[in-house]
Structure 1
């Protein structure tokens, strides 16, 4: 344990250090919340209390900082492994920490001889099991935009990390939603008796109002017009 001294605590008055601390806090908090939200969808048990989760993480990271240890955050792969192994309570996380503590304290030499490639393979395998491969086909046939978002987000997480990949996915989802919200289409059908049916599909926002009015003004003025908004 490398306890910080007076010089380290004095550096907290530095603006750059404060910025780094806030960045770590935001990234760790976001990753924990993303992981908790994903895990909640994998089981039917009690839902995560996000306030309690963040308070516990904040207290833990404060203690880690005081002891000179690395900050901690939730990890989706470890949590998913617990769920897939049949864990139903928070005791699984406590047991996981105790096992790590016991191995690090009693068997450090044994941990040192484990090949990193083996650990990486286990992580990759556990991460791949989180990707809903079987659902991609139906999703592509019914909602191709959502399928593209899923593929891009998955690839971004693999190439970068969980936080940056999810942020990219969220940004793309916002762009997609904005496009769908502002997209509207007018179609006309002539019926017997001289009636004209105008069907409006999409979301008629104020951004598309000029286009809607322009197309409505092109309709014949001497025929009854029926506007279908269903």
Structure 2
């Protein structure tokens, strides 16, 4: 009963996710060089199986665009799709093992700025990739600087009309109608846009007034009977277990898919209005089960996917019922109504994704990150640019590296506080308060500060707030104490252990094996 508690919100959301997932499943399979039906298998398993097992309330799993390059290369290198499926099964097993070993905690170590940058970058990519579909563009331009005539020939005004009508419905539904009547909240705008798109195509397409090619429509396999439906499933060739390359591919898929899933979990939890936290290690187990099953029946590898998950959140999804229902709708649609699905203009689906992409990469997010300061904005913008220019993994790694550098620079300057005191007629009395944690990263700033002290001065080194002190710092202070005697600099060491003037050895005072200080 708990699962169906929020069905009024989850059902409309599942329809939106279904219409978003359908073309993505087919498109990712096509880009991966795999059978088209393999993308649908992964989408169905990601919805029904992973959705049922996972404890993520709003995350949606399916074939991931971030794995297309790996899949495309692996199918060729391994010598066939059936052998590649063995790697998918093994990758799932590895993910289950990773989950049991609690490897999901890795996801907690990615900065918030990198996660937000990933969301914005994916939004930008989604938005701009839909523009050709929304314009009905076919073929490639002959040059980077194409003429107006070439542009005119490459677009379809029939598709543009459908795109305009679809965007109008979606914007009107979301910004006006849904705020005036609960009926418009129950019936999702994307469903209305899809129905209107089909009607426009059926009415005007058959009369010849609307020109759409087959490539501008959804294209799913149409089974004629049970046997033809079953023939779309592919079994793995387990003779590939003797091939070392299969294990390398499996390890690669497991690592990349797990990383993408963990980042998506973090991002989706941030989008969740209820701010629920997904147990990440258990999510790896759920993904592992899904991947192993997908590989066993001919499906692509899957991950939790931010496009579907964000569509779920932004459409009002509350529980994993919407995820499971979207998988069930994918299954029923390819069995019962494939011919109707093939009447949907891609321009309608592109319009739905344009809205989602804009919401993810809303310009307000960039302004918000700028206002938070350089420590947040720099890793954020580096992540955005790197993902858009290169790919998801490169962008995440770049953002993480920059985030670590920013953290180190901040830590470099936060190791201590130097005060200049003036009393008893002495003008060269310096008091340095050491921070709670001082590591080798802070050595440079401390060296710069102490090496700049004038001769014949007095220095108080206050360790009373310090709790963690690296051996590297103690070693340098011993070196500095020698220099201090030569320059007539008097040192007073102040700590919770006591006070001592001109210590012979800081390491002996604190204990050369003691790096954690305090009580």
Normalising by the smaller structure, the TM-score range is: 0.7 to 0.9
The CA deviation string for residues 37-78 of structure 1, in whole angstroms up to 9 with x for no partner, is: 111112225421223322222112111111112122211121
TM-score, normalised with respect to structure 2: 0.39
**What is the match of residue 19 of structure 1?**
248
Whether the 8 Å contact between 1:157 and 1:163 is mirrored in structure 2 is yes
What does 1:42-61 align with in structure 2 at a 5 Å threshold? Answer: 42-43=271-272, 44=274, 46-61=276-291
**What is the match of residue 205 of structure 1?**
439
Select which of 269, 274, 278 maps to 1:40.
269
Unaligned runs of 5+ in 2: 1-231, 466-519
Change in 2 beyond 3 A, CA 1:151/1:113: farther
Distance in 1, matches of 2:432 and 2:359, equals 44
Distance in 2, matches of 1:88 and 1:38, equals 16
Change in 2 beyond 3 A, CA 1:55/1:223: closer
Q: Which has the higher contact order (CA 8 A, sep 6+)?
A: 2
Distance in 1, matches of 2:380 and 2:241, equals 40
**What is the match of residue 234 of structure 2?**
3
The CA deviation string for residues 3-56 of structure 1, in whole angstroms up to 9 with x for no partner, is: 336xx2111221111111221122112111111111111222542122332222
Which shows bigger deviation, 176-185 or 101-110?
Answer: 176-185
The CA deviation string for residues 138-175 of structure 1, in whole angstroms up to 9 with x for no partner, is: 53244123212212212333344444432332222123
Distance in 2, matches of 1:42 and 1:139, equals 16
Secondary structure of the 1:57 match is helix
Distance in 1, matches of 2:313 and 2:393, equals 21
Distance in 2, matches of 1:33 and 1:218, equals 47
Whether the 8 Å contact between 1:153 and 1:166 is mirrored in structure 2 is yes
Distance in 1, matches of 2:254 and 2:317, equals 28
- Does residue 28 (structure 1) correspond to residue 262 (structure 2)? The answer is no
What does 1:126-145 align with in structure 2 at a 5 Å threshold? Answer: 126-131=356-361, 133-145=363-375
Distance in 2, matches of 1:164 and 1:117, equals 30
Which shows bigger deviation, 166-175 or 152-161?
Answer: 152-161
Which shows bigger deviation, 179-188 or 147-156?
Answer: 179-188
Which shows bigger deviation, 106-115 or 85-94?
Answer: 106-115
Distance in 2, matches of 1:73 and 1:177, equals 30
The CA deviation string for residues 174-227 of structure 1, in whole angstroms up to 9 with x for no partner, is: 232233333468767575742555667998533543663454244234455566
Whether the 8 Å contact between 2:408 and 2:441 is mirrored in structure 1 is no
CA positional deviation for 1:129: 1.6
Select which of 320, 338, 344 maps to 1:90.
320
**What is the match of residue 125 of structure 1?**
355
Whether the 8 Å contact between 1:45 and 1:88 is mirrored in structure 2 is no
Secondary structure of the 1:69 match is coil
Secondary structure of the 1:129 match is helix
Change in 2 beyond 3 A, CA 1:141/1:201: farther
- Does residue 147 (structure 1) correspond to residue 377 (structure 2)? The answer is yes
Whether the 8 Å contact between 1:35 and 1:74 is mirrored in structure 2 is yes
Change in 2 beyond 3 A, CA 1:62/1:70: same
**What is the match of residue 167 of structure 1?**
397
Secondary structure of the 1:3 match is coil
Change in 2 beyond 3 A, CA 1:208/1:133: same
Distance in 1, matches of 2:351 and 2:441, equals 50
TM-score, normalised with respect to structure 1: 0.79
Change in 2 beyond 3 A, CA 1:215/1:36: closer
Which of structures 1 and 2 has the bigger CA Rg?
A: 2
Select which of 215, 220, 228 maps to 2:454.
220
Change in 2 beyond 3 A, CA 1:190/1:139: farther
